[in-house]
């Protein structure tokens, strides 16, 4: 797959982000403000959206059995789009019939999680199978930055279209975004898998496929897949645990208002962009390996969190914005390196199990994301009950997250592909990342 194919698949990720951002931000706001629901309600719905993604291994196995990813991408996006539209309809309905509306919203968020699992897993499998090894870190950077662009573009345009707000306008905007996202996906993947497969030698046909449970046990028995699953769970738990406490920390300890803490979040996202670009472009001169960037990004994240620990003790004299930018950059670098590693390691093992491996790792990520935010927020509340000084209480939580990143770095450093252990091939984590980025 050439760079044009990568950009086309990036459009799929952008479309996915466009639907997800409405359900995880806009609809949450409407439920809390316009419907005056407890914030726990959208929190539980987002947790449900992550919990449903435990189906990723089964969906990835389906792509393995069928041998094609395109139908799963298109079908998953159709389910995701339906979930996004129904979620808006349910929120609007809850304004007049709360039990019925919330029941529909619950179903819709489950569909959103299922759609993300199906389309997202198949998309990563297709990238892992068709993108040449030297381009994978760059491809991961392109695809993920396009997803973030989808977040930003949709949030900005939908904000304009929803003003002045009305339930009917909410349903219309969400339905239009869902339909447009599905059409973009359909055009983006049309012929990509067939064209890229034609340039590769045909894989030997598998005469029979095991049951899903047998295939999952087979993948879990592989040391590389098992260790990488644990690494994904630990690193993403540390990554997501900071989401719900960073802005409250800045408000309580540094006295920043809502607008200032929102700007601080923007500083963090700017750092994430910088870190992603650094990891994606570093291989242009063979500067480092995916293993080095993954381990280094985790350790740098731990150092940045240690800086936030110091900020909790020092207070206003600490350079908070610089520390938050550094945290974002470290997070972005390790994320892209980890995704590139995921794409490489998907093929480290028995052939025909790429989708099952990718689904297993996606499920671990979903569990960590679903529980990380709640765990971080809950831990901060509990510690603040025991520690009277707010800054010190938050410092303890940030310190625990830093330790998780250190553990994740140790796990990443210990992963050895089976081929390297058996001496049949070099360790794909140790090979330099040398993508040829488009000019």
Same domain, 81 and 178: yes
Instruction: Report the alpha-carbon distance of residue 232 to residue 335 in Å, rounded.
Output: 10
Which pair of tokens denotes residue 422? 């058996």
What are the tens digits of pLDDT across the range 204-224?
A: 444 455 688 888 888 888 888
225 within domain boundaries: yes
204 within domain boundaries: no
81 within domain boundaries: yes
3-state DSSP of 352-363? CCHHHHHHHHHH
Rounded to two decimals, the pTM is 0.74
Same domain, 163 and 254: no
Same domain, 178 and 320: no
> Which of 145, 163, 196 is where one domain is finished?
196
Number of domains in the chain: 2
> Which of 145, 168, 196 is where one domain is finished?
196
What are the tens digits of pLDDT across the range 254-271?
A: 888 766 776 787 788 788
Same domain, 143 and 184: yes
Same domain, 141 and 113: yes
The greatest distance separating any two alpha carbons of the chain, rounded to the nearest whole angstrom, comes to 67
> Which of 171, 196, 221 is where one domain is finished?
196
Same domain, 302 and 376: yes
Residues in a beta bridge with 432: 289
Same domain, 186 and 283: no
C-alpha distances out from residue 372 to 9, 367, 376, Å: 29, 8, 6
Domain span at residue 27 reads: 1-196
| pLDDT by position in tens, the chain (length 439) | 788 888 898 999 999 988 988 887 788 878 877 888 886 788 788 888 888 988 888 888 887 787 788 899 999 999 999 999 999 999 999 999 999 999 999 999 999 999 999 998 888 888 888 887 667 767 877 888 888 788 778 877 777 788 788 999 999 999 999 999 999 999 999 887 775 555 554 444 444 556 888 888 888 888 888 999 999 999 999 988 887 788 788 888 888 876 677 678 778 878 888 888 888 776 544 455 778 888 999 999 999 999 999 999 988 889 999 999 999 999 988 888 888 888 778 777 677 778 888 888 888 888 888 788 778 777 877 888 888 888 888 899 999 999 999 999 999 988 855 444 333 444 444 443 333 333 3
Q: Is the peptide bond before 164 cis (omega within 30 degrees of 0)?
A: yes
Residues in a beta bridge with 289: 432
- The closest of 201, 229, 186 to 348, measured between CA atoms, is 229
Same domain, 18 and 127: yes
Same domain, 175 and 286: no
Q: Where are the beta strands (DSSP E) in 57-149?
A: none
201 within domain boundaries: no
Instruction: Tell me if residue 342 falls in helix, strand or coil.
Output: helix
Q: Could you tell me which residues come within 8 angstroms of residue 423 by beta carbon, excluding any fewer than 6 positions away?
A: none
Same domain, 164 and 288: no
What are the tens digits of pLDDT across the range 237-252?
A: 998 888 778 878 888 8
Same domain, 169 and 294: no
320 within domain boundaries: yes
Same domain, 189 and 218: no
Q: CATH no. for residue 409?
A: 1.20.1250.20
147 within domain boundaries: yes
102 within domain boundaries: yes
DSSP string, 199-246: TSPPPPPPS----HHHHHHHHHTSHHHHHHHHHHHHHHHHHHHTTTTH
202 within domain boundaries: no
Instruction: Report the alpha-carbon distance of residue 137 to residue 128 in Å, rounded.
Output: 11
Percent helix, strand and coil across the chain, each to the nearest 5: 80, 0, 20
Torsion-angle region of 104 (φ positive above 0: left; ψ -120 to 50: alpha; else: beta) = alpha
Contact 86/111 with Cβ under 8 angstroms? Answer: yes
Instruction: Report the alpha-carbon distance of residue 296 to residue 206 in Å, rounded.
Output: 39
**At what angle are helices 246-254 and 390-414 packed, to 10 degrees?**
150
Instruction: Report the alpha-carbon distance of residue 275 to residue 293 in Å, rounded.
Output: 10
Contact 375/241 with Cβ under 8 angstroms? Answer: yes
């Amino acid at each position: 797959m050439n760079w044009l194919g990568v950009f086309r698949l990036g459009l799929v990720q952008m479309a996915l982000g466009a639907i997800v951002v409405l359900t995880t931000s806009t609809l949450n706001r409407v439920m809390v403000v316009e419907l005056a629901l407890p914030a726990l309600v959208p929190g539980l719905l987002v947790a449900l959206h992550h919990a449903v993604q435990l189906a990723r291994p089964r969906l990835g196995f389906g792509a393995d059995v069928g041998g094609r990813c395109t139908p799963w991408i298109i079908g998953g996006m159709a389910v995701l789009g339906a979930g996004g539209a129904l979620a808006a309809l349910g929120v609007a309905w809850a304004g007049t019939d709360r039990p019925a509306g919330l029941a529909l919203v619950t179903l819709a968020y489950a569909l959103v999680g299922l759609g993300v699992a199906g389309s997202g897993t198949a998309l990563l499998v297709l990238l892992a199978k068709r993108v040449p090894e030297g381009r994978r870190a760059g491809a991961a950077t392109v695809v993920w930055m396009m997803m973030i662009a989808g977040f930003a573009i949709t949030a900005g345009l939908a904000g304009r279209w929803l003003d002045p707000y009305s339930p009917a306008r909410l349903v219309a905007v969400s339905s239009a975004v869902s339909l447009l996202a599905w059409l973009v996906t359909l055009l983006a993947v049309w012929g990509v898998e067939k064209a890229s497969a034609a340039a590769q030698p045909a894989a030997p046909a598998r005469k029979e496929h095991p049951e899903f449970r047998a295939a999952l046990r087979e993948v879990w028995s592989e040391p590389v897949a098992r260790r990488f699953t644990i690494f994904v769970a630990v690193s993403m738990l540390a990554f997501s645990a900071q989401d719900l406490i960073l802005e409250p920390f800045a408000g309580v300890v540094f006295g920043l208002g809502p607008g200032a803490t929102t700007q601080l979040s923007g500083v963090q996202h700017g750092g994430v962009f910088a870190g992603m670009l650094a990891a994606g472009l570093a291989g242009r001169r063979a500067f480092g390996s995916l293993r080095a960037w993954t381990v280094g990004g985790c350790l740098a994240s731990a150092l940045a969190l240690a800086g936030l620990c110091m900020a909790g003790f020092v207070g206003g004299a600490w350079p908070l914005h610089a520390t938050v930018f550094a945290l974002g950059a470290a997070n972005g670098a390790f994320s892209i390196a980890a995704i590139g590693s995921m794409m490489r390691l998907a093929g480290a093992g028995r052939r025909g199990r790429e989708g099952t491996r990718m689904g297993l790792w996606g499920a671990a990520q979903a569990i960590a994301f679903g529980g990380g935010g709640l765990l971080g927020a809950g831990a901060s509340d509990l510690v603040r009950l025991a520690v009277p000084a707010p800054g010190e209480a938050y410092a303890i939580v940030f310190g625990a997250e830093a330790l998780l990143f250190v553990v994740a770095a140790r796990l990443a450093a210990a992963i050895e592909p089976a081929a390297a252990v058996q001496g049949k091939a070099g360790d794909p984590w140790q090979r330099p990342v040398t993508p040829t980025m488009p000019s």
